[in-house]
Structure 1
Amino acid sequence: MDSEVVLRLDTGDVLVTFVPTAPEVLPGVVRPAGVPKVRLLARPESTPATAVGSLDVVAARLAADGVAVHPGLEALLDLPEAAPLLHTLETYLELACSAQATAEALHLHRTSLYYRLQRVELLAGTDLKDGTERLALHLALKVARAAGRLAGS
């Protein structure tokens, strides 16, 4: 069974990954002088990856730690009138950024969908054409849902 490995750096950055086992040390990795030791945390057996998606497990862990993942999305989470935009963004990302599938799922004309996505980009200061941004937004939405900050959480 895969184990969750959480790397917390002195800078406050968090890196989460999954490995086949949770070793005490990483073989073949030599820590240079001055680099702090990294604590490896195994995911509790009570939350197996098969119960929920791996991204959901990571999001729940980050939400529990209070980690902010995307600053632009934080601003939208605080606006009650942004709920439809957040729902649109979440649906779009869940449906692999398929405009057709998202428009159908939300019962929107594609022009309306594109307008909403442009509003998200503007208000969140992001670019949905950037894969890294899409990943950060998707993870941030999962974290917000795990923390109960999204409508319908």
Structure 2
Amino acid sequence: MKQARAAAKAERAAKAPEPSLDNRRARHEYEKLESLEAGLALQGSEIKSIRRGNLSINEAFARLRDGELYLVNLTIPPYKEASHFNHEPNRPRKLLLHREQIERLAGRAAEKGLTLVPWRLYFKNGRVKIELALVRGKKLWDRRRDIQARDVQREIARSVAR
């Protein structure tokens, strides 16, 4: 009986893909120099809200405070079924990294024009992970050049497909 339950649970887990969210705004506005995977310290109602796909990482960025990195402006709306045990939607969330990684990233982010932004949020082995990227802002002409290059690639792909 236990084997049947375990098999059914594994089958349900295989059917339901974990949500993944890309920061499309960051991909458009920033040039990615370096990235690494970090964990997030979250509450239970936040996890459930994320699993439903309720969150916004477009305005989020990482900030160093007291030797620890925090993700600021990550919006996770309240989980309706959590009633009065809900979380604060815009609270700073601690990033789980090794001390050496924090020091290296903080040193690089202190350089002029560089910042840390969430590039992608996803689940890995049932845990929420975030791809944190060290980025430099693109100028307007950089964005235009990227759009032109993307259009050229699209035209090439269309002509090859014919």
TM-score, normalising length from structure 2? Answer: 0.25
Normalized per residue, the structure richer in strand is 2
Point out the structure with max Rg over C-alpha. Answer: 2
Q: Which has the higher contact order (CA 8 A, sep 6+)?
A: 2
Could you state the TM-score of these two structures normalised by the residue count of structure 1? Answer: 0.26
- Greater helix proportion: 1
